[in-house]
Amino acid sequence: MPNIRHGAVACANLRTMSTTETPAPLLSRPQVYIEDVARNLDAYDGKEVNIKGWLYNKRSSGKLHFLEVRDGTGILQCVMFVKDVSAELFARADHLPQETSLVVSGKVRLDKRSPLGFELGLTGMEVVAEPTKEYPISPKEHGVAFLMDQRHLWLRSRRQHAILRVRAEIVAAVRRYFDSHGFTLVDAPIFTPAACEGTTNLFEVGYFDQKAYLTQSGQLYMEAAAMALGKVYCLGPTFRAEKSKTRRHLTEFWMVEPEVAYLDLTGVMDLAEDFVVSVVEQVLANRRRELEVLERDITKLELVKKPFPRITYEEAIGLLQKAGKETKFGDDFGGDEETVISEHFDRPVMIHHYPAEIKAFYMKRDPQNPKLALGVDLIGPEGYGEIIGGGQREEDLARIEASVEAHGLPREAFEWYLDLRRYGSVPHGGFGLGIERTVSWICGLHHVRETIPFPRMLERLTP
């Protein structure tokens, strides 16, 4: 049989609460994963398999128990027919609480009605551990605050499982894209001596006898790396002491940041567009089932094709004013404005040439109009907001020195960064894509809190 992952080491000396008198306990026999069977239905049809997992849900009708068993790769309907097992086992199955860990064995039966394409006709079952307390999350509706407190358990639910799988696929797709386009992965530090994205939302930490800050962005280090390696990217956690309680803000989020030597603003936009199309395509190809669990309208994602509309900040202001917003030149866009702009387009839109004043210190100014910065934001469709921020960097020593000063940044902490303009400075640029905002968009989730396994927000540090 192809592609069968076997369980880790057989745990023969693990004490089990087996009620059957099988020669070798099911727990010590090799395991097959639900997803592997679903992918190789022809090979498994009619075969006897052993699945190790947890009881997700259960219903009974006289002679039949329907046990929904999850194993981390899927949730499978297992049918226990009174005639196929001992009376003792049949009775036991009737009283198993949700989240009992168990091993089931049975025959793979193809079934077109099942989302997995098969069900299991049970012939054996072993309980590994029965919960010592009633499981707090039942299939009924719970409030978000309660579920967030139970996040360590909530991850087991069907929707959360699907989200985490899409998230993992997005991260894998991101890496595949850059790894296959000549980029070198360069890891950025987490402890940093200075701000990158403004000084108002820095997390300060004690660092022996000095102060350090949790990184807001790996960009400055990627600029150094790009001068060494040409095309680089980092992917890691970043931190913002965001006091805002919006559906798009976390205090700890993951960002992927490519940076390229000899790249101008147009090149940055071309790269962002090609990259986002590729990530969406890969998720559609590999995680369709999970998107269906999430009831995501996939036709909307299928529209994510090149070219993405590109509009200037000034044009965006025009769209907002036409929609009755009072936004004027010089205002930054918040979530509401981004939503209004995104409603004009069926795919992501790139907004470029922002007023330099509202952008970060490192942005290159437009030589034709120094009031404007060569920056770009990519706004997701359907109101998912800013997903990418980036642009071309200031490569001129005198101008970047002036900008460090104008932004009130501590010059000493930036000397190394200024060296990049002293020794072989070149035009360069890049961007940062927020993983959680991307997961939120692709999964169709209202709030970013469900896009990361253990969210950190203004009022949440646990579990």
**How many other CB atoms are found less than 10 A from the CB of residue 410?**
12
Strand runs (DSSP E) across 306-416, as ranges? Answer: 310-312, 349-355, 365-366, 369-380, 385-392
Query: String of b and e for 379-398 (b: at least 16 CB within 10 Å)?
Result: bbbbbbbbbbbbbbbbbeee
Window 136 to 195, contacts with ligand 4AD (CB under 6 A)? none
Instruction: Please state the closest distance from residue 437 (CB atom) to Mg ion, in A.
Output: 10
> Is position 264 an interface residue for ligand 4AD (rule: CB under 6 A)?
no
Q: Which of 33, 177, 253, 354 is close enough to bind ligand 4AD by CB under 6 A?
A: 253
> Is position 388 an interface residue for ligand 4AD (rule: CB under 6 A)?
yes
> Is position 240 an interface residue for ligand 4AD (rule: CB under 6 A)?
yes
> Is position 255 an interface residue for ligand 4AD (rule: CB under 6 A)?
yes
Q: Which of 375, 381, 389, 434 is close enough to bind Mg ion by CB under 5 A?
A: 389
> Is position 25 an interface residue for Mg ion (rule: CB under 5 A)?
no
Mask for 9-38, x = binds ligand 4AD (CB under 6 A): ------------------------------
Q: How many residues bind ligand 4AD (CB under 6 A)?
A: 23
CA pair distance 138, 152, nearest whole angstrom: 15
Taking the mean position of all CA atoms in its chain, how far away is CA 319? 31
What DSSP line would sit under 132-190, residue for residue?
A: SS--S--SS---HHHHHHTHHHHTTSHHHHHHHHHHHHHHHHHHHHHHTTT-EE-PPPS
Instruction: Please state the closest distance from residue 15 (CB atom) to ligand 4AD, in A.
Output: 46
- Cα atoms found within 13 Å of the Cα of residue 137, Cβ hemisphere only: 20
Instruction: Please state the closest distance from residue 362 (CB atom) to ligand 4AD, in A.
Output: 8
| Closest-CA residue to 239 (of 220, 257, 221, 217) | 217
Mask for 209-228, x = binds ligand 4AD (CB under 6 A): --------x-x---------
Amino acid type, 205 = V
Q: Which is nearer to Mg ion, 25 or 389 (CB)?
A: 389
> Is position 431 an interface residue for ligand 4AD (rule: CB under 6 A)?
yes
**How many other CB atoms are found less than 10 A from the CB of residue 237?**
16
Q: Which stretch binds Mg ion (CB under 5 A): 81-89, 255-263, 382-390, 408-416?
A: 382-390
Q: Which of 124, 348, 389, 455 is close enough to bind ligand 4AD by CB under 6 A?
A: 389
Provide the terminal-to-terminal Cα distance of the chain, rounded to the nearest Å.
Answer: 41
> Is position 257 an interface residue for ligand 4AD (rule: CB under 6 A)?
yes
Query: String of b and e for 427-446 (b: at least 16 CB within 10 Å)?
Result: bbbbbbbbbbbbbbbbbbbe
Instruction: Please state the closest distance from residue 313 (CB atom) to Mg ion, in A.
Output: 13
Mask for 309-348, x = binds ligand 4AD (CB under 6 A): ----------------------------------------
Quote the Cα angle for 235-239-243, to 5°. 145
- What, of Mg ion, ligand 4AD, none, does residue 296 touch, CB below 5 to 8 Å by kind? none
Instruction: Please state the closest distance from residue 344 (CB atom) to Mg ion, in A.
Output: 20
> Is position 380 an interface residue for ligand 4AD (rule: CB under 6 A)?
no
> Is position 428 an interface residue for ligand 4AD (rule: CB under 6 A)?
no
Q: Which stretch binds ligand 4AD (CB under 6 A): 50-58, 162-170, 207-215, 253-261?
A: 253-261
Q: Which stretch binds ligand 4AD (CB under 6 A): 25-33, 168-176, 407-415, 433-441?
A: 433-441
Q: Which is nearer to Mg ion, 106 or 389 (CB)?
A: 389
**Tokens of residue 264, six digits:** 């101008």
Cis peptide before 463 (omega within 30 of 0): yes
> Is position 386 an interface residue for ligand 4AD (rule: CB under 6 A)?
yes
- What, of Mg ion, ligand 4AD, none, does residue 197 touch, CB below 5 to 8 Å by kind? ligand 4AD
CA pair distance 241, 197, nearest whole angstrom: 11
Instruction: Please report how the helices 435-443 and 265-286 are oriented relative to each other, as an axis angle in degrees rounded to 10.
Output: 50
Amino acid type, 195 = A
Instruction: Please state the closest distance from residue 254 (CB atom) to ligand 4AD, in A.
Output: 8
Taking the mean position of all CA atoms in its chain, how far away is CA 347? 20
**How many other CB atoms are found less than 10 A from the CB of residue 194?**
19
Q: Which is nearer to ligand 4AD, 119 or 257 (CB)?
A: 257
Q: How many residues bind Mg ion (CB under 5 A)?
A: 1
Q: Which is nearer to ligand 4AD, 90 or 354 (CB)?
A: 354
Residue with tokens 């022809």: 42
CA pair distance 396, 354, nearest whole angstrom: 20
Residues in contact with Mg ion by CB under 5 A are: 389
Per CB under 6 A, residues contacting ligand 4AD are: 196-197, 217, 219, 240, 242, 249-250, 253, 255, 257, 386-390, 430-432, 434, 436-437, 448
